[in-house]
Amino acid sequence: MHGNRRMPLVLTAAGVLGASIIAAAATTADPGWWLYCFSQLGAMRDGSSALFNGGMVLAGAVIALSAVPVRRGLGRAGSAGFPPWRAPATLVPLLILALGISLVLIGVLPLSLNVFAHERAANGALASSAGLLLLHRLHLRGLSRALDRVASSAVAVLCVGIAALIAGVISLTAFEALAFGSVITWLHILETQVTRLAFRVAAPLTANSQGLSLSPIWGTGLFGVRVKVSAEDAGRVLGTRPT
C-alpha cells in the first residue's frame, strides 16, 4: 500500500481515544465526571476506568509512533524545494514523542494511583503541545495553508481557554477537549502533509515518467526519452562543430 494511502497514525490515535472515552463515559459509576476532568474517568478503579486508561495508553503509543513519518518527511523537505529544516526535523519528532509518552503515562498513572505523577504527565502533554505550536511559528509556516490556519486557531484556543478556565467560565474538561482537539487536528494535518512530501521526494524519477529520452545509443522506442538538442549543440558535443 502506498505510504500516503495508509491510515494516518494520528487519526488512528484520535479514533482510539475517542472510542475509549465514549465507552468509559457510558459505563462509569460517576455520572458527574465531566464536572472535573477527563482523567476522572480513569480514577474509578473499575471496568470503565480500564477502558479509558487502556485507550489513553494505546493512543499515546500510536502518537509517539507518528514521530517516525514526521521525521522522515521533514528530513526530506530540502529535496522538495523547502529550506533545510535540520532543527525542526529533530525537535518536532522529539516533541511528538514526548506528547505520546505523556499520554501513555496519564493512562498508566491514573489519579487514583498517583495524583502528583498523573498531574506531571498531564503538564508534560500540555508543554509538548505548546512546544509544537511554537516550532510551527518559528520554522513550519508556509508548509501548508491549512496547517497554518489550524496552528493559529490552536494558539487562540489555548490562550482563550486558559483565560476562561482561570475565570471559571469553563470546566477543566471543556478546556482539555478544546486544547487537545485543536492540537491533535494540527498534528494530523502535519503528518499527512509531510508524509505526502516524503513520498513525493522518494518517488524515483524515470525517463518515461518525465517524458524525456536519451540519445539513440539508449534506444528511441516507446519507452525512450526524447531530448530536444539543437544541431549546433549536438555538433559541439560530438566534436563536429567548433566551440
CB 98, CB 90: distance < 8 Å: no
Lowest mean pLDDT among 32-46, 137-151, 155-169, 192-206: 192-206
In whole angstroms, give the CA distance from residue 16 to residue 32.
23
pTM to 2 decimals? 0.74
Amino acid at 178: L
In whole angstroms, give the CA distance from residue 231 to residue 238.
10
Q: Of all residues in the chain, what percent carry a pLDDT higher than 90?
A: 39
In a domain, 2, yes or no: no
Tell me, yes or no, whether 226 and 140 share the same domain.
Answer: no
Tell me, yes or no, whether 165 and 224 share the same domain.
Answer: no
**What is the number of structural domains in the chain?**
2
Give me the mean pLDDT over the 193-215 stretch: 50
Tell me, yes or no, whether 185 and 226 share the same domain.
Answer: no
Give me the mean pLDDT over the 72-78 stretch: 73
In whole angstroms, give the CA distance from residue 242 to residue 236.
6
Q: Can you give the residue range of the structural domain that contains 234?
A: 207-238
CB 75, CB 87: distance < 8 Å: no
